[in-house]
Amino acid sequence: MKYDCHEIERLYQENLSTAERMLAGLPVAEGWKPNIKGLNGWVYEQTVCYCLSQELKALGVLPIIAQQEAISGRIKIDLLVGRVAIEIKAGGSFGDDAKKYSGYRTKVEQKGWAYFYFTCGESHPPYRLATEEAFGKERTFFMDTPGDWARFVKEVLKNYEGKP
């Protein structure tokens, strides 16, 4: 593997800092550093997308990737890689996220997609367990678990073309 959890975190932090600096440099920002919660998530999604794309290319796959793909109505998933729909969270779960994702899973699978969850980490055991129950352990990836990046890439590759 070209990447691991440490390299992904380094790239994320480096690019988040660059994004904040560049946004603060806009004339209308007058030097104010942005305090936008969504920026962290967007940069994390872009980092994961970039690293996954690089890994798949190294394995001989030129990935077809879409971002913010509609599941149903206004409900969107963060990343669609082939037929793998991925929810990406920089900060783990909040409250009833797992219940929401269980409902989304039905809609995702009706489209013929495999539904994955990817996060930097989850320190609250009940949320971690609920997420694993909503997605299935084989499709839930926590970067605070050693080896999960390699397992993630392997599972995306396995499900990429439709053979779960």
Look at residue 26 in the predicted model and tell me its pLDDT.
96
Strand 114-119, strand 84-89: pairing = parallel
pLDDT in tens, 137-154: 999 999 999 999 999 999
- Tell me which DSSP letter residue 28 carries: G
pLDDT in tens, 86-117: 999 998 777 778 889 999 999 999 999 999 99
Look at residue 162 in the predicted model and tell me its pLDDT.
58
Look at residue 29 in the predicted model and tell me its pLDDT.
94
pTM across the whole model: 0.92
Residues of the domain holding 22: 5-159
Look at residue 152 in the predicted model and tell me its pLDDT.
98
Q: For residue 117, which of 100, 134, 96 has the smallest C-alpha distance? A: 134
d(CA 106, CA 128): 20
Q: Domain holding 89: CATH number? A: 3.40.960.10
164 in a structural domain: no
How many structural domains is the chain composed of? 1
> Is residue 164 predicted with pLDDT exceeding 60?
no
> Is residue 122 predicted with pLDDT exceeding 90?
no
31 in a structural domain: yes
> Is residue 66 predicted with pLDDT exceeding 70?
yes
34 in a structural domain: yes
Strand order of the β-sheet with 75-81 is 65-72, 75-81, 84-89, 114-119, 140-142
81 in a structural domain: yes
Higher pLDDT, 123 or 69: 69
Give the helix/strand (H/E) hosting 78: strand 75-81
SS3 16: helix
Chain-centre distance of CA 87, in angstroms? 5
Strand 140-142, strand 84-89: pairing = unpaired
Torsion of CA 150, 153, 157, 160, to 10 degrees: 150
d(CA 88, CA 79): 8
pLDDT in tens, 9-61: 999 999 999 999 999 999 999 999 998 889 999 999 999 999 999 999 999 99
Look at residue 79 in the predicted model and tell me its pLDDT.
97
